[in-house]
């Protein structure tokens, strides 16, 4: 049950990253929230396997912060790459 909640928090963090950062027009609306949810699930399961208690506060904090950072980094990296690629393509097409 906690995994479901943490994935939802990761999706919410991804939505926040999507709307807080520029370049939201360079990729789909579901990409960053999906990355946040997947990152949250992976971090949560990894920390659980390492023996962190699911009812402790640190596992929640580390997982949510990690999901937010991963979603933001993916959003920034993808946005910059897409903008650069679009500019290169425009120059190649003679525009």
Query: pLDDT grade, residue 86 (50/70/90)?
Result: confident
Rounded to 10 degrees, what is the CA torsion of 31, 32, 37, 42? 100
Examine the pLDDT at 95 and tell me if it is beyond 90.
no
- Give CA–CA dist 79/59, Å, rounded: 30
User: Quick one: which of 79, 81, 85 has its CA closest to 23?
Assistant: 79
Span 10-42, pLDDT tens digits = 999 999 999 999 888 888 899 999 999 999 999
């Amino acid at each position: 049950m906690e995994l479901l909640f943490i994935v939802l928090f990761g999706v919410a963090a991804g939505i926040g990253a999507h709307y807080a950062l520029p370049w939201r027009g360079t990729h789909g609306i579901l990409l960053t929230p999906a990355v946040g949810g997947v990152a949250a699930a992976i971090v949560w399961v990894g920390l659980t396997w390492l023996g962190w208690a699911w009812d402790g506060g640190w596992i929640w904090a580390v997982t949510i912060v990690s999901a937010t950072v991963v979603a933001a980094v993916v959003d920034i990296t993808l946005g910059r790459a897409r903008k650069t690629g679009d500019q290169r393509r425009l120059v190649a097409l003679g525009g």
